[in-house]
Amino acid sequence: MIRIRGLRKKLGTKQVLDGVNLDIPTGCTMVIMGRSGTGKSVLLRHIIGLMQPDEGTIEVEGEIVTGLREQELNEVRKRFGMLFQSSALFDSLTVGENIALPMREHTRQPEAEILRRASERLEWVGLRGVEDMKPASLSGGMRKRVGLARAIAMDPAYILYDEPTTGLDPIMSDVINKLIRSLQARIGVTSIVVTHDLHCAWQVGDRMALLHDGKVEFTGSTSEARETSDPLVKQFIEGTSEGPIHAV
Ligand SMILES: Nc1ncnc2c1ncn2[C@@H]1O[C@H](COP(=O)(O)OP(=O)(O)O)[C@@H](O)[C@H]1O
Ligand SMILES: [Mg+2]
């Protein structure tokens, strides 16, 4: 499992993370909700070691990964796939090359195997025969799915999703939500899904955490979240402007 303890990070003058504690059990899909600008993306960046905390630790399967050197971090990162909010595809490369890139960099697999696997992962996300297209010619939903195919290319144990449905229409959002669930069933990954899309949260989550004012204010199963009397959680999951969170 992933164990986060006392994570603190100041960026500029803002104490973005102010003592985050969170456990993500193996095999579970953890949804992290919170308002825009609360530090959800910052938290994900800490988990894959793109940012280092001022204080606190992150443990992955018993190993403390905060404070590791770049070379050791690279080993840890191989176990993670990340779907960035922007998809983060290289526009100068074809779809196939985008997916092959991490495999070419981090494995010694023969080229034929890399290409076979790129096509296979594209098929898993419902895209066939798009290897030679350029990302710029794809729709937002297709770009997301290419980003996802790349995230799963190296059989990660963990997938981190940053706002996987934001900016997509409801039908494409449903496609992505179903993919998140089917990947969990197919490869048994542990997933962390950062979102403020409530529909997505209910559809994919086993557990939920609410990040607020730099701390995890609630964590529990989706049914516990649904039944809680905690006014902060209630306000968030009901999406109302009335409650302890001020809409400023
Ligand atoms: N690299 C950075 N340098 C300075 N401030 C940052 C940086 N990254 C994020 N922030 C700030 O940290 C806060 C949290 O950002 P972010 O994690 O992106 O929020 P969100 O919950 O919407 O994903 C915001 O106030 C943002 O402006
Ligand atoms: Mg974000």
Do 242 and 235 touch, CB atoms closer than 8 A?
Answer: yes
Q: How far apart are CA 50 and CA 199, in angstroms?
A: 29
**Which residues, 6+ apart, have CB-to-CB distance to 216 below 8 Å?**
20, 21, 22, 209, 210
pLDDT, tens digit, for every residue of 199-213? 899 999 999 999 999
- The answer as to whether 31 is a domain residue is no
Ligand of minimum distance to the alpha carbon of 163? 2
- The answer as to whether 25 is a domain residue is no
pLDDT for the residue numbered 111? 92
Partnered with residue 191 across adjacent β-strands are: 29, 159
4: left (phi over 0), alpha (psi -120 to 50) or beta: beta
Per DSSP, 39 falls in state S
pLDDT for the residue numbered 184? 87
- The answer as to whether 109 is a domain residue is yes
Average pLDDT value for residue range 208-222: 95
Choosing from 7, 8, 16 the residue with most ligand 1 atoms within 8 A of its CB, the one to mutate for a pocket test is: 16
pLDDT, tens digit, for every residue of 26-52? 999 999 999 889 999 999 999 999 999
pLDDT for the residue numbered 158? 96
- The answer as to whether 121 is a domain residue is yes
CA–centroid distance for 210 within its chain: 15
- The answer as to whether 111 is a domain residue is yes
- The answer as to whether 138 is a domain residue is yes
Q: For the chain, give the percent of residues with pLDDT over 70.
A: 99
Domain assignment of residue 97, given as a range: 90-155
- The answer as to whether 169 is a domain residue is no
Residues with beta carbon inside 6 Å of ligand 1?
Answer: 11-12, 14, 16, 34, 36-42
Q: Count the domains in the chain.
A: 1
Q: What is the pairing mode between strands 63-64 and 14-24?
A: unpaired
In the reported structure, the alpha carbon of residue 115 is separated from the centroid of ligand 2 by a whole-number distance in angstroms of 32
- The answer as to whether 223 is a domain residue is no
Query: Is the whole-model pTM more than 0.85?
Result: yes
Asked whether the CA dihedral 243, 245, 246, 247 is positive or negative, the reply is negative
